[in-house]
Structures are given as structure tokens and as C-alpha cells.
Chain A
Amino acid sequence: MSDRFPTASAARDAVALAAAGRPWRAAAGPDAMRRRLASRRIARRPIAIVSWTVLALLVGVAVFGPLLVPTNPLFQTSSALLPAGSAGHLLGTDDLGRDELARLVYGARPLVLVSLAATALAGLLGVAVGTVAGYLGGRVEGLLMRVVDLGLALPSVMLIILLVAGLGTGPAGLILGIGISLAPGTARIARALAARERSRDYVTAARLGGARAPGIMLGELLPNMAGQLLAQAAMTLSVAAGFEAGLSYIGLGIQPPTPDWGYMVAEGQQFLYGAPSLVVLPAVATVIFVVACNFVADDLRDAFDPAYGR
């Protein structure tokens, strides 16, 4: 028997629930409870607490940067390459006399915003494709997943570079390029989750209760897949951040003079001996962001899937 259809006992239970006048959503009770329990397991371990805090701090810096550092990060002065601790320049200046602290703070914005937007795009595309494929199955699933396989078969870096070259450099090109190239990975996860969930009782109940496929996918499947998709999103965020920094490093991302950590590393590497902070600070900040995203993804996965083990 295909796993598209519920077992006879499950169907009987669902019919009974429906006949008892209980809405089919009641069948989702255990999952709702699981979500509530999961929320209590988030950020319990020290490494998770640190990671969530760091991530929140970096996002806060990206969003509220201008309030924290009033100096214009684009303003060039004749005081180039001042060391850290110079008057008026806590972290010194770069080769064009711009305040390094301001550039570091403002430089968080492209990384955080581009990677968040790209992750959202990858999630939107991937979850839509994966959920439809996983729920409907059959030929639709076969067709969609072959397209996904094609996307996965292409090296991500090459795909992103091709897309960015075609769409243009800058934030929009980066978001589209990174988002599209990371969508297949999310689609695969979403398809697996949807295929697992579709044969569960609450889905059967919804179907017997007259709900249509789009309603079941949006109203029943997605809430029950949300936890693991969130963990996947955190993982995607770290990959997107790595790509954003890497593309900017090679000149295909955020364009100067806009401050960006990836490009700041590229610009600063010629000063590694004379002014190492121009390279080290943006590089370390990027690494911290990526690693924090990974630990957060770990934490979310552990919280929503305790069976995975610690």
C-alpha cells in the first residue's frame, strides 16, 4: 500500500473524531504540544545561549548601527591608516582615512540583511516546492524533485556566480543569486518532512473533513514542519552569510565604497603587516556570525527533534 494513504485504523480514528463533532485540528494536539515543549528546550545549553546572544547582538548592530556609531563610514579624511586608539577613531582608519569602527559596524548590514533575505527567498521557494512535491507525490513529485536534483547537481558557488553575473552585483543580485541557489537544499528537506507528515492522522482527518490540498498544506503540514524548517533556515543563513562575504571578497557582491565585511577583508589584506586589524576584525566578525548561525541551527534541531541526540 502506498504511504500516500492512511492506514485503515487511522482512517477509522479520524472518522470517529469527525463524527464526534470534534474538529480535525484536534488530531494535531500532540504536535502542538511537541512544539510547546520544544520552545522550552531552546537555548538551554551554554553554547546555545552564547550563540543566540551573539547572533542577536550582530543583528542588533546591523539594524541599529547608525545609532551606535554616528560617524559616516564613507567619509574620507587625510588621516589614512591611523592605528587603533587614535583620537576620534577607536579602531583607527583605513587606507582612505575612513573610520574603521564605523565601517565595521555598518559593514554588518549587508552580511546580515542579504543573508536573511536570501535565506527567506530560499525558504519560500524550497518549502513551496518541497511541500507540494511531498504532499502530492506521484508525477508532480517526480517532476519537481528532478528539477531540484538539477539545482543540487550544479556546484553552488558556480551557480551563484552565474546568477550574480547575470542579475548584476549589489544586494538585489546577491539575494536572488544566493536565494535561488540555496532553495534546492531546503526543498529536499521540506519534501521529506511533507512526505512523512502526509500519512499522519491529523492530515487524514483534515482530508476527510473536506479540506482541500492547499489548505491542508498551509494549515496542517506547515505548522508541523515548522520546527525543523526553522533549524534548516538557520543552517541556510550561515551558508548564505558565507556566500555573501565570499562574493563581496572577490568583487561580485556589495560594491565599494559601501562597507561590507567581505570586501573589507579583500581591501585590507595588503595591509596585513602594517594594519592587521583591517583584515582581522571583519574576518573574525564574519566567522563569528557563521559559527553562531550553525550552533543556533544545532540548537533548534535538538529542540524540535530530541531523538536526534546530543
Chain B
Amino acid sequence: MSNNHLRPDGALPISDGAGMTRRNLLRTAGLIGAGTGIASLLAACGVASKPSSSSSGSASGGTLTLATDGTSAIVDPCYYDTIGDWQAVDCICRGLTFVSFETNTVQPDLAESWDIAADGTTYTFKLRQGVKFHDGTTFTSADVVDSLNRQFDANDPTLPTGAVRQIQSMNAKVSAVDDYTVKLVIPKPDGTTLGQLSDIGGRIISSAALKKYGKNIGKHLVGTGPFKFVSATSGQSVVMEAFEDYRLGRPPIDKLVLQQVQDPSTIINSLISGDISATQFTPYSAAKQLKASGVTVYDTPYGFDAIMMLDARKPVLAEPEVRQAINYAIDRETIVKEAFFGFGAVPDGYAIPPAQPCHDKSLADLSTYNPAKARQLLASVGATGRTVHVIAETGGWHPAAMQIVQQNLSDVGFKVVTEVVETAAYFGRVLNPADEYHELMIWERNSYVPDPDNMVGAMADPAGLYGGPATGLSTLKGSAKFTDLIYQAKNLPDGAARTQLYSKIQREWAQEYMVLVVLAYSTNVVAGVSGAHGMNVDALANDRCYMETASV
């Protein structure tokens, strides 16, 4: 009797496995293993399967597929799980203001204009008329009030479980003056208010949709942006289509797909084959190979800091001399060369990268490589031979930088224990001072709004996450002064006085406390197939997604 069964649909027979002995299986596995190795070698030698022709798109229509880090399928300005989810919000909803990242100035978007009262606490926005939501309703002040109140009112019934209210710290009160005028009152003047309203938390959702879907709005997001939400599948993709009535005109592409692609080699292969049109998650190591394969790799300004946070509460890092020694020990040129493959720069302005206002090269000495000085400082407090722990997340440049840091610290007399931590668990450990390895933590700070307050304000404020749980700056004597200084700095207009104040803050922050080592400046490397045009790559390099003029 045959060991094979015929499928009811008459398709190929399926073996029941009776003829496959364990030894045969092992032999087959061995052959497959060897075959895989050979296939990898062939692929590496350029004998990979022929790329598809999807890179030769037309000027209009078609689908643009962006590779992202992931999606939870909850697309809501009041929720954060992945950058991909926020990129989808970027495409679907827009706010009262807009920062393109091609220029760092705040522009009107759904607000036509605004007035700021003399006391600096009351903003009156005149709204743009005739703007349509994707559900056909017309944009009015009620939509602004309902959308922003979700950020400021923790009891708003439309907030999803696990809501992240990104601009809640503004503590604003929003009210409608008339159908097209909105008043926003904040407790005290804040020069970054307009910039913050351009961020994800300031996006406007259709009131009708909020009423209809309530806390499930994340699965049915309705905005005024260039793309309409179609579907989202957790761990796979978010699909959007062009909005015919977008206020600046229909986008050239028909469909925009944000596809989760996490494996670096898959990103590379997909870019070469054209299966994805573009991404900002390009592995640094692959840029040269991608260029050689006809993929466009964009030069974007260095907008993020690669950093290492030092927990000043830990006994091994208690003396400022030890923390300064760590700062002197780091060979940043090697980090730029080997962890970022040249896509970066040695920090010459401490925490404010070159892409932002107030970048000041007079702070270059705060990131000096001087191992002799490091050894001397360690010896001066008898800390030579001390054991320190370094953690980094598993992906991207982080593990390589961690190993360079390990080598650098060993060279000046530390004993170093390292650990890589799965990305999803990493930030939780950074925010947990009780963690055994909570001493030196490698991380990055991106410019979600291109303003120095988003860097210095976020990281040097003792009341913030970086200054509190991450580094323990708040526990160090005299650090409270930074709260006031940062407040003053963010309320100054861009210019020499503002730069001077931010530089003063950074110098004192570094020289007196040294809880943050800036390892490098870099950018998320944006790569796209040759047929993709019109993407805002500067925004994409900052994890923002403005694709209204893109074509494939």
C-alpha cells in the first residue's frame, strides 16, 4: 500500500513521513545546511537572484513601500509602541503647525495664523477653512478641542489603554472661540509651544470619528493628512491610500505601505530587489553595498546624538573624577568609523547636533579623547581597576559602540562587564535604577522636533526621564539650577543669546556633573530605490514621514 495520500483537491500527494528515517532526515538537514552556506556565499559573490524591476516606477500612481521598525496596528497620536505607528500618524493626521525638517522653522498648517498674547501664555489660532477630513466632515475648532484635550485630560474617555500623552506636560487648556478660532492657554510662557504642536501629540483627529470609535480610534484613525487609513496588521504593515481632497493636492502615489522589516539583511535585500521603496532603517554597514547596487543613499544632516548615560547614584561612579575619566577614555573617531561606518561625526558641540539651532563648536573640548588624562583621574581617586557595567540594546550601531567603549575603558584601567539587551526591554531597564547593570547605558536621542530644547531640555533637566531615573542627575547637589536655566533658554528666540545660554548649560552640565557622554553625532541613513522621488528625506532621517510629494 502506498505511503502517500492524495489530497482531496487532487493536488500533489503529501508524504506521511513513514519513508523518512531519522538518518535520512539528518542527511537531508546536513545537505540543506551546506546548501544554505553555499547559497549565502553565492549571494555574497553577486550571484543572487535577479532584482525585480519595481524600482522603475512612473511619476504618478503606484505604491510606495517604506520599511519601518514595526507596527502595533494602533495608529493613534495618544499611543506609542513603534516608530512605524507614529510614521502612520504623520501621514494620516496633521496639526495646527508644521516643521518640515528641511527648514527648522515652524510653519502654519491647519492653523492659518496665530497671535501670542503679551504675557506669552495665551495663543489664539485662526483655523484654515474648507479643509476636509477623510470621513468627509469639515475641519472646525471642535476637532481641535477634542483632539488636544486627549493630550491634556488624563480622563478623556477616548484615550486608549496604555495611552502616551506626548504633549501633556504643556498643561494647556483649549477652548473654541468660534468655529474657526481656538484659544490655547498654558500656565507659563514656553517658546517651544508652536514646535511641540507640530509633533505627533498635536495632531488633529475628526471629532465625528472620535465620537464614533472612542478609544478604538487607533484602528480607524481619521485626519486631514495626505493619506487615508486603510488597514493595519500588527507586526506586519499599515496600509494607506492617497486622499483625493488633501488640502495641498492629491499625493502622486496611490498607496503608501509601511512595512515592518526588522532584519538588517532583509532590509538590504528588499532595497536591492525593489520590494521596499525606501527606509531610514538602513544598516550603516550596508550603505556602500547599496550604492553599488544602484540604491540611492541620501546625505542628511546629523540630527541625533549617540550617547552613553552614567548613573551618578551608583557607588562605582560616585566620584565626578571617575565620570570625567570615562568621558576622556572614549575614542569617538573609532566609534564613528567602525560603529557608524563613517555616517557620523565626532561631537564638537556636546549634546546639540549640527542639524539643530544653537549647535556651538566651542564645546568641542567636552568630547575630548585623552586616555592619559583618564588614567590620571582614575588614579587620583584610587578607582583604577574598578568594575563597571555597560549595557546596550541589540540592534543597529549599539553593540559595536558598546564593544569599542568596553575596549576604551579597559585600556584606561577599568574592568568592564557588558550586556546587550533585547530592544523591547531596553528602555525599561534604562528607567530602572535598581537594575544590576544600571551604570553605563548606551542610547540615542533623536530630534523629533528640531529644537535644542528637544536635546538639552530633555536630557539635562533633573526633572526629566534622563535627569531622573536614567542618570540620577536630580540627586546631585546644585543640579536643580538646570530647570530654571533650561526654561530661560527655551524662551529665547534663536540667535546668539540663546546659543550662549545653551552652551553655558551644557558646559556646566558636563564639567560639574558628567552624567552624559556624547559618543557621536549621526543620522538615520535614508536609502531609496532609484525610482522613488520627492520624499522628504530630512524628515525621514528624523523618523518623521512626510510623503505627500513622493512618487515611484
| A binding-site residues for B, Cβ under 8 Å | 74, 76, 78, 80, 95-97, 169, 250-252, 255-257, 266-267, 269-274, 276, 279-280, 283-284, 287, 291, 294-295, 298
Contacts and interface: CB of A to CB of B under 8 A. Distances in A.
Nearest to A269: B265
Nearest to B37: A284
A271 B26 CA distance: 29
Interface in B1-59: 22-23, 26, 29-30, 33-34, 36-37, 40-41, 43-45
B481 interface: no
Given A270-B268, A287-B33, A294-B26, 4 more contacts: A96-B403, A251-B422, A270-B283, A283-B37
Contact of A95 (B30, B285, B418): B285
Contacts of B22: 298
Interface of B: 22-23, 26, 29-30, 33-34, 36-37, 40-41, 43-45, 263-265, 268, 283, 285-286, 288-289, 334, 337-338, 394, 399-400, 402-404, 406-407, 418-422
A76 B420 contact: no
A276 B394 contact: no
A95 B338 contact: yes
B40 A280 contact: yes
A295 B26 CA distance: 8
A298 B44 contact: no
A280 to B, nearest CB: 5
7 contacts: A76-B334, A250-B394, A255-B418, A257-B418, A269-B265, A270-B285, A276-B44
The binding surface of chain A is classed by DSSP as loop
A273 B44 contact: yes
Contacts of A250: 394, 422
B394 A251 contact: yes
B198 to A, nearest CB: 34
The binding surface of chain B is classed by DSSP as helix
B43 A76 contact: no
Given A255-B420, A291-B33, A298-B22, A272 B265 contact: yes
A272 B40 contact: yes
A300 B35 CA distance: 28
A216 B229 CA distance: 72
Contact of B289 (A269, A273, A287, A298): A273
B334 A78 contact: yes
B273 to A, nearest CB: 13
Contacts of B37: 280, 283-284, 287
A85 to B, nearest CB: 16
B333 to A, nearest CB: 9
A152 B229 CA distance: 44
A96 B407 CA distance: 10
A252 B37 CA distance: 24
Contacts of A257: 403, 406-407, 418
A271 B422 CA distance: 21
A269 B286 contact: no
A74 B352 CA distance: 33
Given A256-B402, A276-B44, A80 B338 contact: yes
Contacts of A256: 399, 402-403, 418, 420
Given A257-B403, A283-B37, A270 B265 contact: yes
A97 B34 CA distance: 28
Contact of A291 (B29, B265, B334, B399): B29
A97 B286 CA distance: 17
Nearest to A284: B37
Contacts of B283: 270
A245 B22 CA distance: 23
B30 to A, nearest CB: 5
A298 B23 CA distance: 8
A291 B30 CA distance: 7
A51 to B, nearest CB: 10
Given A255-B418, A255-B420, A284 B33 contact: yes
Contacts of A267: 399-400
A14 to B, nearest CB: 38
A233 B30 CA distance: 20
B264 A270 contact: yes
A96 B408 CA distance: 13
Contact of B285 (A274, A283, A291, A298): A274
Nearest to B285: A270
